Amino acid sequence: MTDSRAATVLAYHTRSKHALDRYAAGPGTLDWDAQPKAFRDWDGAQRSALPRDIVVSDITWGELPASRPSLPLNGSNLGSLLRLCVALTAWKEYAGSRWSLRAHPSSGNLHPTETWLIAASVAGLEDGLYHYHNLYHGLERRAWGRAAQTTGAWLGFSSIHWREAWKYGERAFRYCQLDMGHVLAAVSYAAVLHGWKPHLLLRSAADIAHALGSDRAEDFVGVENEEAEVIVALHATDTALPTDWQHWAGKPGLLDARPLYQWPVIEEVAHATRGTPPSASVSPLPIPARDEDIRAAQVILKRRSAQTFDGASVMPQTLFKRLLTSLLPGGSPVWEMWPHVARVHPVLLVHRVEGVAPGVYALPRSGAAKEAMRAAFRDTFTWEAADTESPLFQLIAARAGKTARTLSCHQDIATDCAVTFIMLAEFAAPVAADPAAYRHLHWEAGMLGHIVTLEAEAAGWRGTGIGCFFDDAVHEVLGLQNDRFQVIYHYAVGMALDDPRISTLPAYEEPI
C-alpha cells in the first residue's frame, strides 16, 4: 500500500519537473478575466467581524525570541494573531488593476490556502468551527452546538488546488504545499508574539478533514473541493479537539465557473500523500537574543516579495550569518513548532556577500546530512569550512549568477539578488517510508523560505520564492545521480527595487 502510494508520488514528482527543453504540463492559454476567485464565501453562514487591532505592536523583532506571557484566548487576541499570519496586508493598484497581498507570500499570488478556526470556551466567540474570511478579516460560522468540555483555539488549513492549477497545471500541487509551509511559519511567528506555543496536531488526514468539514462531500457538489492539510493548536495543552457539532451551515461558493483544463494527477498525488504530520524528534534549542529595534508586527506587515533586485548591493556579513543561523535548529521560533530532524538543506549560490567569496556553498542542517550530501555531490567539490558559527561549506568558488538564472527558469531575480538558496530535500527514503513526507518536505522548504524572507525584511532586504526551476539541471550542477536528494524550492534574497508606478492602499478600511 505504502509502496504504491510512494510510486504515485515519485511518478508525480518526475512528471511535474520543469526541464530546460520542456515545462511541466500546464494550460496552453490563460484567460486572466476568468481567474478563480481569490476569496471563498460560505453562503448562508453567519458572518461576524473580528477585531482589527494588533495587540502586540510594541514588540521589537529583536525581542521576538524571548518567551512572553501568554495572552488570554479571546476574540481580540485571535483577531490580532490572524492579522499577522494570514490576513491581507495591503492592496496594490496599477493601471486600473487592483490586487491584495497577505502576510505570507504565495506562488503567483493565487493563495490556495484556506484558514479555519475551531474555538472552544474562547471569550467573545461562540464555540464552533469558523471559516476565516481574509477579505473582511471576519469569521463565517460553519458549525456549532456542542457543550464545551475543553478550552482552546486551533487553526486548521485546507488547500484549494484549482486556484494554483488554473495557472500552473500539474506542478501546482507542489506550490500549494510550499505555500502551506509559508503559512505554518507565519503562524509560528504570530503565535510567539502573542505568547502562545503552537504545535501541530498529530491526527490522521481523515480526522483533520472531519474536523474542518472538508469531508462533507455533499456540501462540495459542483464546486472546487478543499484538501485538508493540518491543524495547529495555539496552546501547548493537548486538550481534545472538538469535532462533533450539532449544526452545520453554509455552502462553499464556486471559484471558477468555466474551468478550461483538468489535471487529475493532482488529486492522485493529494490522495497518495494523505497522512499524519511527523511527531517531534528533537528538542528545540533556545533562540539567541538579537538587537533589531524594528517592530516585529511591522516586519510581518510590510513583508513583500521583491519583483526586481538591484543586481549590485552587497549583503552585509551580519545579515548573511543571521540568515544562516536562523535556518538551523533553535534559530527561529518556527523550529519550536516543527521540532523534527532537518530534512531540507540549503545549497547557496553566493553572488554578493561581504567577506564571502562568490561561489557555491552547502548548509547541511544535520550532521548526517553533511556526510550524505558529500557522498552524493560531485567529488570535485572541496567542502571547505566557510563559517565559524554555522556548518557552511564552500563547494566551489565561482561566479554563479548566470547559472542561478538559468536554473531558475531564466528569471533575473535569481542572479540580481545577493544570494540564491536552493532547497535540497532528502527525498527517496522519507517518501518511501511515508508518502505523506512529500507534503512535509515542501512545508519544511516553505518554512525555510519564510524565515529567510522575514529576517531579510527586518534588515531592510527582501526575499522572493522561486517555484519555477529546472529540477534535473540543478541536480546535474550538483552532480546528483539519483533521487536520494531532490531540489524542491529556490529562494532569492537581495536588495529590492520598488516599482514606483504601483500604488499601495491599506489592507482594511480602518487604520491599523
Ligand X SMILES: Cc1cc2nc3c(=O)[nH]c(=O)nc-3n(C[C@H](O)[C@H](O)[C@H](O)COP(=O)(O)O)c2cc1C
Interface positions with ligand X (CB under 6 A) = 101, 105-109, 175, 178-179, 182, 304-305, 411, 413, 464-468
> Cα–Cα distance between 59 and 80 in angstroms, integer?
13
Cβ of residue 464: shortest distance to ligand X, in angstroms?
5
Minimum Å gap between C-beta 43 and ligand X is: 27
State which H helix or E strand residue 300 sits in.
helix 296-302
Positive or negative, the CA dihedral 18, 164, 415, 308 is positive
**Inter-residue contact 417 to 319 (CB < 8 Å):** no
What is the per-residue burial (b if ≥16 Cβ within 10 Å, else e) of 247-280?
Answer: ebebbbeebbeeeeeebebbebbbebbbbbbbee
**Minimal distance, residue 311 CB to ligand X, in Å:** 15
178/233 with CB nearer ligand X? 178
User: Whose Cβ is closer to ligand X: residue 320's or residue 469's?
Assistant: 469
State phi, psi for 169 to the nearest 5 degrees: 60, -140
CB 112 to ligand X: min, Å: 10
Closest to ligand X by CB, 111 vs 141, is: 111
With cell 506562488, the residue in question is 107
CA atoms of 401 and 417, how far apart (whole Å): 9
| Shortest separation between residue 142's beta carbon and ligand X, angstroms | 27
Minimum CB–partner distance for residue 177 and ligand X (Å): 9
Instruction: Please report how close the Cβ of residue 88 comes to ligand X at its closest, in angstroms.
Output: 10
Q: How far is the CB of 106 from ligand X (least distance, A)?
A: 5
Which element (helix H / strand E) includes 42?
Answer: strand 42-43
Question: Judged by CB, which is closer to ligand X: 278, or 465?
Answer: 465
Asked whether 409 and 469 are in contact (CB, 8 A), the reply is: yes
DSSP 120-135: ES-BTS-SEEEEEETT
Residue 374: φ, ψ to 5°: -60, -40
Residue found under cell 517555484: 467
CB closer to ligand X, 134 vs 411: 411
CB 169 to ligand X: min, Å? 14
Closer CB to ligand X, 199 or 490, in the complex: 490
Residue 166's closest CA among 107, 87, 246? 107
Q: Specify the amino acid at residue 412.
A: D
User: Look-up: residue for cell 512535509?
Assistant: 440
Record the cell numbers describing residue 363, joined without a space.
548548509
Nearer to ligand X by Cβ, of 141 and 304: the residue is: 304
> 433 or 502, CB closer to ligand X?
502
- Cα separation of 61 and 258, whole Å? 45
When the beta carbons of 406 and 464 are compared against ligand X, the nearer one is 464
